[in-house]
Amino acid sequence: MVRSSALFVGDAPGLDFLNSIATPLDTPVDWIDDGEGLLDWLEQARLVPAEALATIRAQALPGELDKVAGQARHLREWFRGFVY
């Protein structure tokens, strides 16, 4: 799957995390829709070094990263409510 580049317009990691789901055109895009998306977003946000992400990819069990991405989405939605 080819992913579009994430949007980083908040000039702050917390705001960028909230913006990891957006509707830049007509269709919502969730950059952390699965485990690979989460790792891609973390790399684009420069929050985790590429070498560390490569290690995580190599050592993760099947489905493990997807579960972590689900937890990240849950946290993001909680954070949205907190900010509102």
> CB-based contacts of 20: which residues, under 8 Å, 6+ apart?
6, 30, 31, 32, 41, 76
Q: What whole-number distance in Å separates Cα of residue 20 and Cα of residue 14?
A: 10
Rounded to two decimals, the pTM is 0.89
Would you kindly state where each structural domain of the chain is located, as residue ranges?
Answer: 13-83
Query: Average pLDDT, stretch 31-48?
Result: 96
For the cut 70, the answer to whether the pLDDT of residue 1 exceeds it is no
Query: Average pLDDT, stretch 40-62?
Result: 96
Hey, is 72 helix, strand or coil? helix
